[in-house]
Structure 1
């Protein structure tokens, strides 16, 4: 093997390198003839091209949180003598029926029967005729109470004879009021109590304005027939009377009441809708509307303890004391009583500004310059010294 080749030219050194050793470089490693010159560089490039192996991080899978199970609704068996409530109308009536079933699910004396057609109304009798179908529903269910809710699908032209009348004209409104009166009289034919539930507001401002007009007709004609109009408007608007998608439920919690279309009602909205009607149902049906949770049984009344009445000798009786008769408590004057100070109505400031009169300083104060001091002031050791 030949000796290594030395560098032919040595690097020049400065005086600083000679004194302090700055700039010194290590000599390159010797290169032999049988060893390739660029092999270390090739190895370095190969090492750079090889992907670095990173330590694998084992991911710990988190266990999914258990979803709280919804409370199982209490199923109460209805009585054979339970009174039936018939709910008829459009899709709002269907939502009302769902809410009432939830409201009376623990009431064995009431059964909710819903007969609704979502797209029905009193305008398109060719699509669904309520005056013809309502008597059949009454004969089928034999209800103790009838609830009607219509109006959401009425914003269209009406066929009056051979004419097509536009919505909300005077003739249209008169004919619609007549049809409403006929349906209310048909529901009251057997003197069955009637509740006519008004329409709620909707997201469309024009539709909301039309519902206000129709609710006025429903109220007038239902009360003429001897029924009761149930106004639910305030439950679905804010303090300014504007439509709301989210509002308080029957427990006061903020929930979503309406669907994304601003028309249909959510589950909470249906329950709130039923809340307004629930009170009238309990009022009309009386004892049948009592829930199993309202009346405690014998086991629930076992711990009730009735205390004995208090004896008369344990009661301390005292005479009343009148403000104008202080002698009752053994005194001639009231607490803090004394001579009433008289005043001419002028304050010390007024007397000073108007007449130049200076109010006398209280005895013993630093600005009391009177020569003759009261005995209380003279006896004070501060003034004696």
Structure 2
């Protein structure tokens, strides 16, 4: 994982995929508003559910997928707000300080559901003004957990449900081990902070638990789900990711 340790972020292909998916989403109405017609279903639409999405490039794609879901699935009516940022994470606060941002977002956005997805860029040294903590060192683990706790406590509010989505299986062996390590931390801190952890690793794995570029989506049909970098998703993959998440938080069946 030398590319991440050197501070290089997963960005070119991920940005292209997410940009294309977002542009399509915007062309259809980014606010996930449904056009009205004379059907009884549209006359009695489901209650609007407000969702805030925070995180990195994977969260960016999840956001776009949720908007598409709301657009095409008339059983849900989602108002999804994007706070995710490509090339960010919980390690490089010199790029973007999520601890500070989460507090500001939570204060202004009263969404009843917050979905967080981090970690894609976090297999590297934590840099602070006083010291550097090398990846997986004792100091790194302590600092990383503290940042997770700060973000979670910042977004927790009475009447609000908070979900942390774990990292998916990936096709790069050096990333895979690191992402499993991070998922263990995420699950632990989610439980400690009283929020729900959603495991996503197995959703896109083969029957024998291996990485696969193509596979059955949420509807059971086989399609290309993963981007060429074997970390991010295709537009179809992000749509399926959003379906799985929506099902886990009981927005859909």
Q: Same fold (TM over 0.5)?
A: yes
The partner residue of 2:68 within 95, 98, 102 is 102
In the other structure, the counterpart of 2:23 is: none
Q: Does 1:179 align with 2:147?
A: yes
SS of 1:195's partner is strand
Work out the CA distance in 1 between the residues paired with 2:76 and 2:128: 46
In the other structure, the counterpart of 1:280 is: 248
* Superposition deviation, residue 236 in structure 1: 1.6
Return the TM-score normalized by structure 1: 0.51
1:275-333 C-alpha deviation (Å, 9 max, x unpaired): 221023335xxxxx79xxxxxxxxxxxxxxxxxxxxxxxxxxxxxxxxxxxxxxxxxxx
Whether the aligned pair in 1 keeps the contact of 2:165 and 2:198 (CA below 8 Å) is: yes
Unaligned runs of 5+ in 2: 1-27, 37-44
**The structure with more helix, counted as a fraction of residues:** 2
SS of 2:160's partner is coil
User: How many pairs are equivalent?
Assistant: 213
Q: Does 1:84 align with 2:50?
A: yes
1:113-172 C-alpha deviation (Å, 9 max, x unpaired): 121111111111121011211233233331011000000000111125522121112221
The partner residue of 1:188 within 148, 156, 168 is 156
The partner residue of 1:271 within 239, 245, 253 is 239
Q: State the Cα RMSD in Å.
A: 2.4
Which shifted more, 200-209 or 132-141?
132-141
The partner residue of 2:188 within 220, 226, 241 is 220
Q: Does 1:198 align with 2:176?
A: no
* Higher relative contact order, chain-length normalized (CA < 8 Å, sep 6+): 2
In the other structure, the counterpart of 1:159 is: 127
Work out the CA distance in 2 between the residues paired with 1:104 and 1:237: 26
In the other structure, the counterpart of 1:148 is: 116
Whether the aligned pair in 2 keeps the contact of 1:77 and 1:108 (CA below 8 Å) is: no
Unaligned runs of 5+ in 1: 1-72, 284-288, 291-385
Work out the CA distance in 1 between the residues paired with 2:219 and 2:158: 37
Q: Does 1:130 align with 2:92?
A: no
Q: Does 1:246 align with 2:204?
A: no
* Superposition deviation, residue 245 in structure 1: 0.8
Work out the CA distance in 2 between the residues paired with 1:139 and 1:77: 31
Return the TM-score normalized by structure 2: 0.77
Q: How does 1:1-385 map to 2 (within 5 A)?
A: 76-77=34-35, 82-105=48-71, 106-107=74-75, 109-160=77-128, 162-282=130-250
Larger-Rg structure:
1
